[in-house]
Amino acid sequence: MVEQLSLLRPTFDETRAKWTRESNQQEPWCYLKVCIPDQAKSPEEINYKGDCKEQSHNCELWEHLAVAAWRVSENDFDTVAKILAEKRDLQEPIIIKVYQKESEIYFDIEVIEYLERKVIT
């Protein structure tokens, strides 16, 4: 029974997200601690040429996760992309900022924790 439970992974659930909105912004967002899926790859990692639908999906997922991680980082985008790849390869969680209007992109992402606010790690 323990083995069976370990195969289940919690995926993004909009109803559990702690949506936040500042007075000057209309679009709510939330912070999540997530694991980057193995299939999420940068175009450079897989030498993407635009001719494969699966690769296209994986690169698009990578792009969304990289931007979401960059939103909470003080680093430049290239540095965030390197950190994202390292975290993915080590299966270590990372914090991302997700806007509600784009939340459907993250439905298959493993969520470790729904955060109240940005936590520096």
Angle at 99 (CA atoms; ends 42, 111), nearest 5 degrees: 65
Residue 5 lies in a domain: no
Give the β-pairing of 29-35 and 94-99: antiparallel
| pLDDT mean across residues, the chain | 86
C-alpha–C-alpha distance, residues 115 and 2, integer Å: 27
- Please tell me the pTM assigned to this model: 0.83
pLDDT at 23: 75
Residue 92 lies in a domain: yes
At residue 44, what is the residue type?
A: E
Q: Tell me the per-residue pLDDT of 49-87, one tens digit each, with 9 for 90 and over.
A: 777 787 788 889 999 999 999 999 999 999 999 999 999
pLDDT at 1: 37
Residue 20 lies in a domain: yes
> Where do runs of H (alpha helix) occur along 8-76?
43-46, 53-70
Q: Which domain holds residue 28?
A: 10-115
In the chain, what percentage of residues exceed pLDDT 70?
88
Residue 2 lies in a domain: no
- The domain total for the chain is 1
pLDDT at 2: 38
Of the pLDDT bands very low, low, confident and very high (cuts 50, 70, 90), residue 24 is confident
